[in-house]
Amino acid sequence: MTWRTMGAASLALALAACGGGPRVEKAAPPPPAGASVAAEVDAIAAMLDRGEAKFARKRIAAALKRDPMNASLLLLRDSIERDPVDLLGPQSYPYVTKPGDTMQGLAARLLGNRLKAYQLARYNRIEVPASLAVGTALRIPGQPPRPPAPAPVRRPDPAPTRPAPAPAARPKPAPAAPATPARNPAAAARARGAGLAALNSGKAGQAVGLLRRAAALDPGNPAIARDLARAERIAAAVRARR
């Protein structure tokens, strides 16, 4: 081999060592051996808070192999894969973030479940929930919280009066048959949203009742029928595990 050939070979090796090879993407860390499902749920929620949906999806798939009917894991999977408006409902109200607000804190306080933080972030087109800043204008799904009712004013008791004679008893009319609810797509959408929220919170039995009401208010709606069938399957699996 000549000195010229040896120099060319050395130059090629140096270029390869300087980063000419393919880049290897950093993978999500595997769950520690013996980790509980609750700890794994917290770890996945933290990954989603950092916007690492790709890695979180892999961790969820692995965890569901160990516990396929875990409501928290199913909620986190839906938070990544499903439309947030479909999950949380189209109706919303405005909210401006204050000091101390976090996406998980808002989800726990306003949606009833901190694990819905990634759904709330996607609902507002925020890719990294942890980047939430003070003064951010958000849309919160659902109805705004009602102000507390004023305390009732106690009135003095009226003076006692002689009781009026009791009227003659009348025969009770036969109870009327329950009326079939009229078709109401808007009310069905609200019932469906509440049913999905109950399902994502692990309340499968309550979700079945709400989704059945939605199906009665909007017969033939294929999306409601699919959600109802899914809720009934999960409720049956939960009853079987008890």
**What is the full DSSP assignment across 47-81?**
HHHTT-HHHHHHHHHHHHHH-TT-HHHHHHHHHHH
Domain termination site, one of 79, 107, 141: 141
Q: Contact at 8 Å (CB) between 141 and 91?
A: yes
Task: Give the pLDDT of residue 35.
Answer: 58
In a domain, 193, yes or no: yes
In a domain, 21, yes or no: no
List the domain range (segments joined by +) for residue 75: 37-141
Beta-carbon neighbour count of residue 181 at 10 Å? 13
Whether 120 and 194 map to the same domain: the answer is no
Whether 116 and 189 map to the same domain: the answer is no
pTM for this model (two decimals):
0.50
Task: Give the pLDDT of residue 175.
Answer: 65
Task: Give the pLDDT of residue 216.
Answer: 87
* 3-class state of residue 65 by DSSP: helix
In a domain, 169, yes or no: no
Task: Give the pLDDT of residue 188.
Answer: 78
Q: Determine the residue type at 59.
A: R
Whether 136 and 206 map to the same domain: the answer is no
Whether 135 and 190 map to the same domain: the answer is no
Domain termination site, one of 106, 141, 176: 141
In a domain, 104, yes or no: yes
Query: In sequence order, what are the residues at sequence separation of 6 or more whose Cβ sits closer than 8 angstroms to the Cβ of residue 111?
Result: 88, 119, 120, 140, 141, 142, 197
Determine what percent of the chain falls in helix, strand and coil, rounding each to the nearest 5.
Answer: 55, 5, 40
Task: Give the pLDDT of residue 178.
Answer: 56
Whether 113 and 194 map to the same domain: the answer is no
Backbone angles phi, psi at 77, to 5 degrees: -65, -45
Overall number of domains in the chain: 2
Q: What is the mean pLDDT of each run of 10 residues along the chain (242 residues)?
A: 43 43 47 70 95 94 94 95 95 95 95 95 95 95 83 72 69 63 81 85 84 85 86 83 74
Most distant CA pair in the chain, distance: 127
